[in-house]
Amino acid sequence: MIPVRGYRGRRVAVLGLGRSGLASARALRAGGAEPVCWDDNPATRAEAEAEGYACSDLTRHGALEDVAALIVSPGIPHLYPAPNPVVAAALEAGVPLDNDIGLFFRSFAAPGWDELDVVPRVVAVTGSNGKSTTAALIHHILTEAGRPAQLAGNIGRGVLDISPGGEGSVVVLELSSYQTELARALTPDVAVFTNLSPDHLDRHGGMGGYFAAKRRLFTEGGPDRAVIGVDESEGAFLANQLAEGAADDRVLRVSVTRKLTGPGWQVYARKGFLSEVRKGRQAAAIDLRAIKGLPGVHNHQNACAAYAACRTLGLAPRVIEAALASYPGLPHRSQIVAEAGGVTYVNDSKATNVDSAAKALRAFGSIRWICGGLEKEGGLAGLRGATEAVAKAYVIGREAAGFALQLDVEAEICTTMAQAVARAMAEAQPGDTVLLAPAAASFDQYDNFERRGEDFVAEVQRRLAG
């Protein structure tokens, strides 16, 4: 646990008692603060009370008097589409807002660090797509290289649940826009921006607000090194703002759409080969094509970003290459779950938006595509041009018929996962890939994308076994 610093003897309100909220309460108490907790869910409040935390209705008038700060869980809106009533009361009363990420960055550095030969470092990864894989890949590379590392944030453990930093250790954080937009402290040593595509636009008041939330990771505290995907205009703009000039190697540019040139520090992938170029000279090259855990151009982008981040931490190219080869992949992200009769079954349930689904569709040939769910803002127009390899789509979800009408490929309305898997398996031919890449949220039929992916895997395994 990371005890929270700066609030000893003071009351701090915690709104939302899910994983991050309860961890915040524990870390605040460990640092000597007095947490005052609230959640609309009585069962969640009971869990907090069982641990000895006082729960007080923060919606009542005067509940925030003598409160030093309000710690807000990521899912609770504080600006768009409208502030939560407790947040609105805090804004009116002048009570500072923060979240567990802000508490972590203000508290992670500990007394005694000046006695260490190599102080702990923090690598933070954000972006629209690929941030989970990139963060997990950095952690995998560090672990394989023998560096003590912890994975936390939006993946792995909560940031305040991890162990204090030790000699030469690295904390790798995956951070969503919900987390970066509110944190009052954002001071990673290395910050990574994978890419940007429309997502969570209602929460951020549009694309500009969404980019601004991501951008805060790079501008609030200023990382020592920044790894920036420059294949979208926002990434190119961010890299330009951070660099003092073309030769500034504090900014590492990453691309999978073109060869990067110039006097700076670049990592790019073309036709499955990763290249590192520094000061105009090639420093390393890696063949990514045979790595099963990293299929497709989108995963090559993740590999480039992870490679670049690990190079800033002093790892040698050959060490990173060996670790990339052993990377098993993450569940629900281009995860190969079975191979039988010449057919490959891939679970990419995390492809919850159009852009991530399009990238998955470009990673495989001859696809039997399982898609559908709760459609996100903007529709499915972004999938056009990405479906050349799709032999047929099998559409799930409560609005499967409407979803299918927007597709530019032959589509069968299946509604349920069981029916979609059965039909795709029945029609699949040797060389085909049965791919779950929904291009939609899961909440019309599942609690989360993990449950949707698990259902797909279970159906595949059941039918292969029977």
Provide the annotated binding site. 127-133
Strand partners, 15: 38, 72
Cis upstream peptide for 35 (omega within 30°): no
* Spatial distance between the Cα atoms of 185 and 23, rounded to a whole number of angstroms: 18
- Residue 401 three-state SS: helix
* Spatial distance between the Cα atoms of 219 and 298, rounded to a whole number of angstroms: 26
DSSP 364: S
Reading the block at residue 214, the tokens are: 């991501």
* Spatial distance between the Cα atoms of 247 and 265, rounded to a whole number of angstroms: 8
- Please give the backbone phi and psi of residue 144, each rounded to the nearest 5 degrees, phi first: -65, -30
* Spatial distance between the Cα atoms of 172 and 163, rounded to a whole number of angstroms: 13
Residue type, 458: A
Pairing of strands 97-98, 67-72: parallel
Residue type, 73: S
Residue type, 328: P
Q: Are 123 and 309 in contact (CB under 8 A)?
A: yes
Reading the block at residue 296, the tokens are: 């497709």
- Nearest Cα to Cα of residue 7 among 241, 159, 158, 184: 184
What is the maximum span of the chain, computed from C-alpha positions, in angstroms? 68
Cis upstream peptide for 81 (omega within 30°): yes
- Nearest Cα to Cα of residue 304 among 356, 252, 243, 370: 252
- Per the document, the length of the chain is 466
Reading the block at residue 177, the tokens are: 């826009």
Q: Which residues are annotated as part of the binding site for ATP? A: 127-133
User: Residue 430: CB partners within 8 Å, gap ≥ 6?
Assistant: 341, 342, 343
* Spatial distance between the Cα atoms of 276 and 143, rounded to a whole number of angstroms: 22
